[in-house]
Amino acid sequence: MLDKTFIKIICICSFITGAILGIIPLIPVLFWTAFLIEMFLVAPFMIIYMNRLKLIENIDMGKCLSIGAISGGVSFLGFSLVFFPLAFIINLIFKTDSFLWIKVLFNNFGFVIPMIIFTALLSSLLNMFSGFLTMYFYAYFGKTK
């Protein structure tokens, strides 16, 4: 179905996308926008990007679901590895109320790791669904190659 090099490309691109999306919500107004993009739109971005680079020969359901699951989980891990430490540092330096909940999370560190894993799985599931919708639109409009 998917070979190792293709999975590595998906993981690297997804991690970079998640890291970029982890920097954007440091502006408190953009937090939910970046989070919703992270939860729903990483897989369609990856599928369209891979199709434009001709890394996907034909778009089928199995590939799109796999790309959606892998890209959703890995991108949220990249998001978390960038956002949480930076938000914690910003909260320590500037004493802002916007990221006060980050300080509470780090005080209860045993809660942070399961929360990140659960949200990564949720992101994986939602991106799998959006990858399926992307495959459906590609099939419907006839742009599979």
pLDDT tens across 65-101, in order? Answer: 999 999 999 999 999 999 888 888 888 888 777 666 7
Q: In angstroms, rounded to a whole number, what is the distance separating the alpha carbons of residues 80 and 93?
A: 20
In angstroms, the CA 27 to CA 144 distance is 38
- What is the per-residue pLDDT across 6-22, written as a single tens digit (0 to 9) for each? 899 999 999 999 999 99
Q: How far apart are CA 98 and CA 28, in angstroms?
A: 6
Residue the block writes with tokens 């001709």: 54
Q: Is residue 1 predicted with pLDDT exceeding 70?
A: no
pLDDT at 108: 76
Q: 67 vs 31, 40, 41, 131, 145, CA distance in Å?
A: 25, 13, 12, 7, 17
Distance CA 104, CA 57 (A): 47
In three-state secondary structure terms, 53 is coil
CA atoms of 144 and 135, how far apart (whole Å): 9
Average pLDDT over the chain, rounded to whole? 87
Q: What is the pLDDT of residue 100?
A: 66
Mean pLDDT check: name the lowest of 46-50, 54-58, 121-125: 54-58
